[in-house]
Structure 1
Amino acid sequence: MSTTNQRIPSLELGRIIAILAVITIHSQLFVAYPLYKETPWLGDFINQASRFAVPYFFLLTGYLLQPKLSRDPIGTALSYIKPLTIIWLVWSVIYLLMPFNLMTVMTEGYVAERSMYWDYLALTPFNSLLEGGLVHLWYLPALVIGVGLVSILIKANLQRFLLPLSIILFIYGVLAGSYFNATDIPSLFYTRNGPFFSLIMIVLGFEIRRLNISVSSVKALIILMIGMLIHFTEAYYLLSWDVDFRIHDYLFGTPIWALGFFFLLLANPSLGESKWVQPVANLTLGIYVSHLLFVIYLSNLAGFLGFELWKKDLLVWLGTIVISTLFTYLVMKTPLRRVLFR
C-alpha cells in the first residue's frame, strides 16, 4: 500500500486487485453454500484464491522502499513507521469502541456488547498486542516490524543476513502456524503476526529492486501457477490434520505465488495506464483499515433485513467495496486524512 514518486502503472493496478481480494476474504463470500459433504468448497476456494493480496502489499513495500532504505535505513524506516503506528493506534481505538453486534447492543446494552469483545481480546494478549483493535490490523504492526528489521540489519552492515533470517522465520512461522496440528511446534502468538511472514516478502521485494530482477510474462505466469498449486495442495493436505481449508493466511507456496503475480505485473508495466487507476490505488490503505467496519455493519443490516445466501453476500461484498472506497475518498478531502489514513 506504499507510494512512490516513480509509479509503475501495473503495480498500482496490483494494489487495487489486492485490496479487492482482501475485501473478498473478509466478506466471507459464498461460505454459506455447502457443495459437498456440507463443505462450502466454492467459498473456501475463493477465500484461498485471494491469499496473494497481503503478501503482494509486503512485496511492494520492499520494492518501493529499497532505494531509500539502502541510502538512509534508519531515517527512512522511522519516517515510514511513525505514520503507520499512528494509523494503527487510531483505528485500534475506533474498533475497540465501536460495537459490532447491534442486536446485542439493543437487548443487553453497549457495555455488555463491548465487554464480551474486550474479554475475548484479553484471552490472547500477545496476539491482541500484535493485531490491535481488530484482527485485520495485524498487517500494520507486521509491516512496521519487517521494515524496522530490514533497516537495522542494513545499518549494522548485516544486509547479507536479511534473506537467510527471513527464510528461517518464515519456515518457523509456517510450521508453528498452519502446520501446528502436524508439527506441535509451539508459538507464543499466531505466527501470521509479527515478522514471520512480513519480513520474507519485504526482503524479496527489496532484493528484486536492488538486483534489478525481472522475468518474462510467461515465466512469471509459470511461477504464479506453481506457487498457487503448492498452496492449494498444502491446504488440501492439511485437511487430514483437521485444519480448516479456509484459515490459511500463508503456506509454503504462498510467497512463490505472490512473486509470480508481482513479476507478471513488472513484466507488463503499461497495465493500469488508465486515468482512474492511480486515484483509486491511492485509497488502498484507507480502504484496508476501514473496510472491516463496513463488513460488520452491512452484515448486521443483512440480518435485520432477513437477507440470506446470495442477497447477503452481494450486500456485504459489493456494499463494502463501494462504501469503504467512498468513505476513504471523502475523508482524504479533509484534514482527518492525516490521522486516519496518513
Structure 2
Amino acid sequence: MTSKPNYGGLDLLKFLVAFLVIANHTSPFVSFSPQLDFLLSGVLTRIAVPIFFMSTGFFYFRKWTGDPLRDNKALYGYLKKIGKLYFTAILIYIPLNVYTGYFTKEFTLYFLLKDIVFDGTFYHLWYLPALMLGIMVTSFLYEKMPMPFVLAAAASLYIIGLLGDSYYGLVAGTGISQMYDVMFHVFDYTRNGLFYAPVYLALGALAARKQTFQTNPIINGILFMVSLDLMLIEGIFLHYAGIPRHDSMYIFALPASYFLFQWAFSWKGKSNKRFREWRVWIYLLHPIAIVLVRGAAKTVHLERLLIMNSLLHFVTVCLVSIVMAAAAARIYGFPLKKRWRKSASPKEIA
C-alpha cells in the first residue's frame, strides 16, 4: 500500500518559484554582476512557469475519467474559470496599459485580439491565455492518443517553439525563418499556449498517470541538479553565441523542471491554502508592485537605495507583492476556489 502523496511540498515549491518570476522582471543582481544576473534572471527563472504548467497538468489529468462527456464538461468548466480570472486581470491592468501607452495610435482591434489570445494585454499576462490554449491542445491529444504519442506530439510543438525562441539563430536567414516571420505576425513569441505549454502540461499528466513522484527523492534531487547545471551551460552557450531571439525556452528546462517537480513531493509540510491563494495573486500583481516601489522611491528620493540597488529593489518588490497578495486574497477571495469543486481545485491554477 502506497502512502498518500504529500502536496505540501508542491505548494511550497510553487510559492517559491513565484518569486523567480519577480526575479525575471527585476534582475536582482544586475547592479552587482550582470553575468551572475543573467544566470539567475535569464536562465534559472525559466523553470518557474514550467512548474506552474506541470502542476496544472498533474491535478487536471489526475481527474481525467475517459468519459468524453464528463471530461469535456470539466474542460469547459476549467476554461470558464480561467477566463474569468484572465478577464479580471485584464481589467486590473487597464490603468497601467494607459500609463505605458498601450492604447496608442498604432492600437487596433487586431492588435488587441492578438494580445488577448496569445501575448497577454500586459507583459506577464501571457500565462493565462497560454494555460487556456495549452490545456485545450493537451486535452485533445490526451483523449486521442496513447501517452507516449501525447508526449511526442507535445515535444514536437516545443521544438518548433525552440526554433522561434532561444534557438532562433539556427534558422535565421533561412527559408524556415520566413515561416516564423509569418507566425510572428500572429503572436510575438513562440512561448505561448500552442508551442510552449503543452509539453509541460503533458509531463504533469504523465506524473499523474504513472505516479512517478514515488521515485527516490535523492535520485530526483540529483537529477534536478544535473539538469539545472546543463541548463545553465546551455543558456551561457546560446547567449554568447548570439543565437536566441528570446530566452524563454531551453531544452534542459524540461528535465530540470520535471525532476524538481517530482522532488517536491518528498518535501515535508502540510498542504497550505494560503500559499495557493497568495501565489496566484503574487504572480498577477507583482508588476503593480514594481511600479509602486519605483514611484515611491522617486517620491521620497530613495532611488539609489530602492531602484539602483537591484537586490534591495527585488526584495522590496517581493515584500510589497506579498502584502498586496494577502490583501487581494482577503478582500476579493480566490476566484476559482469555491466553484470548481468537481473539475478543479486551487492547486490546479499556476
Change in CA separation of 1:158 and 1:149 when aligned onto 2, cut-off 3 Å = farther
- State the partner residue of 1:295: 290
Once the 2 structures are TM-superposed, how far is the Cα of residue 300 of structure 1 from its aligned partner?
Answer: 2.9
Q: How does 1:175-194 map to 2 (within 5 A)?
A: 175-184=163-172, 185=177, 186=180, 187-188=183-184, 189=187, 190-194=189-193
Q: C-alpha offsets along residues 222-241 of structure 1, whole Å, 9 cap, x if unaligned?
A: 22123212222221222344
Change in CA separation of 1:301 and 1:244 when aligned onto 2, cut-off 3 Å = farther
- Is residue 2:160 matched to residue 1:172? yes
- State the partner residue of 2:330: 333
Q: C-alpha offsets along residues 33-64 of structure 1, whole Å, 9 cap, x if unaligned?
A: 3x4xxxx1121122122221110111111111
Which stretch has the larger CA shift, 121-130 or 160-169?
Answer: 121-130
How many angstroms apart in 2 are the aligned matches of 1:228 and 1:191?
22
Once the 2 structures are TM-superposed, how far is the Cα of residue 310 of structure 1 from its aligned partner?
Answer: 5.6
How many angstroms apart in 2 are the aligned matches of 1:141 and 1:265?
26
Change in CA separation of 1:309 and 1:225 when aligned onto 2, cut-off 3 Å = farther
- State the partner residue of 1:95: 93
- The one-letter amino acid of 2:91's match is V
- State the partner residue of 2:320: 323
- Is residue 2:65 matched to residue 1:70? yes
Contact 1:88 1:132 in 2 (8 A): no
Once the 2 structures are TM-superposed, how far is the Cα of residue 14 of structure 1 from its aligned partner?
Answer: 0.9
- State the partner residue of 1:26: 25
Contact 1:192 1:249 in 2 (8 A): yes
- State the partner residue of 1:109: none
**Percent sequence identity over aligned pairs:** 22
User: Please, what is the CA RMSD of the aligned residues?
Assistant: 3.2
Once the 2 structures are TM-superposed, how far is the Cα of residue 327 of structure 1 from its aligned partner?
Answer: 2.2
- How many residues were matched structurally? 318
- Is residue 2:272 matched to residue 1:285? no
- State the partner residue of 2:250: 251
Q: How does 1:4-43 map to 2 (within 5 A)?
A: 8-33=7-32, 35=33, 40-43=34-37
Change in CA separation of 1:235 and 1:100 when aligned onto 2, cut-off 3 Å = farther
- State the partner residue of 2:135: 147
How many angstroms apart in 2 are the aligned matches of 1:174 and 1:162?
18
- The one-letter amino acid of 2:230's match is I
Which of residues 50, 54, 60 is equivalent to 1:59? 54
How many angstroms apart in 2 are the aligned matches of 1:302 and 1:99?
21
Which of residues 16, 35, 44 is equivalent to 2:38? 44
Change in CA separation of 1:117 and 1:249 when aligned onto 2, cut-off 3 Å = farther
Once the 2 structures are TM-superposed, how far is the Cα of residue 318 of structure 1 from its aligned partner?
Answer: 2.5
Q: How does 1:79-118 map to 2 (within 5 A)?
A: 79-98=77-96, 113-116=101-104
- State the partner residue of 1:130: 118
- State the partner residue of 1:235: 235
- Is residue 2:258 matched to residue 1:263? no
Once the 2 structures are TM-superposed, how far is the Cα of residue 317 of structure 1 from its aligned partner?
Answer: 2.1
Once the 2 structures are TM-superposed, how far is the Cα of residue 116 of structure 1 from its aligned partner?
Answer: 4.8
- The one-letter amino acid of 1:298's match is V
Contact 1:131 1:193 in 2 (8 A): yes
How many angstroms apart in 2 are the aligned matches of 1:243 and 1:120?
32
- State the partner residue of 1:195: 194
Q: C-alpha offsets along residues 296-327 of structure 1, whole Å, 9 cap, x if unaligned?
A: 23123334444456632355322332222222
Change in CA separation of 1:308 and 1:120 when aligned onto 2, cut-off 3 Å = farther
Once the 2 structures are TM-superposed, how far is the Cα of residue 68 of structure 1 from its aligned partner?
Answer: 1.9
- The one-letter amino acid of 1:332's match is A
Change in CA separation of 1:303 and 1:227 when aligned onto 2, cut-off 3 Å = farther
How many angstroms apart in 1 are the aligned matches of 2:168 and 2:304?
33
- The one-letter amino acid of 1:83's match is K
Change in CA separation of 1:299 and 1:118 when aligned onto 2, cut-off 3 Å = farther
SS at match of 1:29: coil
Q: Tell me, which stretches of 5 or more residues in structure 2 are unaligned?
A: 338-345
Which stretch has the larger CA shift, 184-193 or 304-313?
Answer: 304-313
Which stretch has the larger CA shift, 77-86 or 187-196?
Answer: 187-196
Once the 2 structures are TM-superposed, how far is the Cα of residue 176 of structure 1 from its aligned partner?
Answer: 1.7
Once the 2 structures are TM-superposed, how far is the Cα of residue 294 of structure 1 from its aligned partner?
Answer: 1.1
Once the 2 structures are TM-superposed, how far is the Cα of residue 336 of structure 1 from its aligned partner?
Answer: 6.2
Once the 2 structures are TM-superposed, how far is the Cα of residue 330 of structure 1 from its aligned partner?
Answer: 2.3
